[in-house]
Amino acid sequence: MAEPLLSLRGVQTNIGRYHILHGVEFDVAEGGLTMLLGRNGAGKTTTLRTIMGMWRAAAGEIRFDGRDITHMATPDIARLGIAYVPESMAIFADLTVQENLVLAARSGPPDQKRLDWIFARFEALKRFWTLPAGLLSGGQKQMLAVARAIIEPRRLLLIDEPTKGLAPAIIANMIDAFRELKDGESTLLVVEQNFVFARQLGDAVAVMDDGRVAHQGSMAAFAADSALQQHLLGLGMDTHQ
């Protein structure tokens, strides 16, 4: 088996006095989409932020593409080709949609073909191109946050709850976009509460519980095992839609 693109071994993270991650271990294979599931407070967001270097791992090792990134600074981690879409979206409200995307394209002005591809999926971004991003609706902000992560090809995308609060039509576009990305240039690690969405898209799954990864495997097997789902996710998971 080839070396995984991303691997976490025994990662522990403290936030202030609180011990959040107690030794997280899982792998993300190159290509495809891994869903990171778990109840609220299991440590999913903290895991993504620790990978990004936004929280410091107190112990353990994080490797990306064969390189130890545990102690690297956030900008350097990003420059290895990892993009992050936080749950709060964190778009720059005072900047226009255009400026948000120009900034995200590190290596120069955004490529027009790529922009067109993004516009085809997230039409609102084209419509509000020169509007301050703070004026967008919640769903549009989410589109912008995702667009910002994919404005240039990145090897690994870390995405925190992309469907939260989105209308079904937009979710469908999001699914299309993610599918194309994972079949093409990128590997995706997505935190998700919406299990229907997770099942449709996920190739692999890692389920967190209380600061650890309690289960890792293929999405197909996990989706078939409702007892395991019940055990790991309980009723907190959003299974409708």
Partner 1 sequence: MKRDWLPLLLIPALMIGALPLIGSPASWVTLTVAGLAMGLMIFIMASGLTLTFGLMDVLNFGHGAFIAVGAFVAASVMLALAPWMTADSIWLNLAAIGPAVLAAMVVSGVLGLGFERIIVRPVYGQHLKQILVTTGGLIVAEQLLKVIWGPDQITLSRPTALRGAFLFGDVAIEKYRVLAVVVGLVVFAALALTLNRTRLGLLIRAGVENGEMVEALGYRIRRLFVGVFVVGSALAGLGGAMWGLYQETVTAAIGAQVAVLVFIVIIIGGLGSVGGCFVGALLVGLTANYIGFLAPKVALGSNILLMALVLLWRPQGLYPVAKR
Residues that bind partner 1 (CB under 8 A): 52, 54, 73-75, 78-79, 83-84, 86, 88, 90, 92-95, 99-100, 102-104, 106, 132, 134-135, 148
Shortest reach from residue 71's CB to partner 1, in Å: 15
Closest CB to partner 1 among residues 83, 190: 83
- The DSSP letter of residue 42 is S
Q: Kindly tell me which of 79 and 231 has the beta carbon lying closer to partner 1.
A: 79
Q: Which is nearer to partner 1, 25 or 99 (CB)?
A: 99
In angstroms, the CA 46 to CA 211 distance is 9
Query: Closest distance between partner 1 and the C-beta of residue 50, in Å?
Result: 13
Neighbouring residues of 94: CB distance < 8 A, sequence distance ≥ 6: 132, 133, 134
Q: Is 125 helix (H, G, I), strand (E, B) or coil?
A: helix
Sheet holding 156-160, edge to edge: 82-85, 156-160, 187-191, 32-38, 204-209, 212-218
User: Residue 26 or 84: which CB sits closer to partner 1?
Assistant: 84
Closer residue to partner 1 (CB): 70 or 194 = 70
| Minimum separation from the CB atom of position 53 to partner 1 (A) | 8
- Smallest gap from Cβ 92 to partner 1, in A, equals 5
CA–CA separation, 214 vs 5, rounded Å? 20
What's the min distance (Å) between Cβ of 169 and partner 1? 27
| Per-residue tokens: 218 | 């293929």
Nearest to 12 by CA among 36, 45, 46: 46
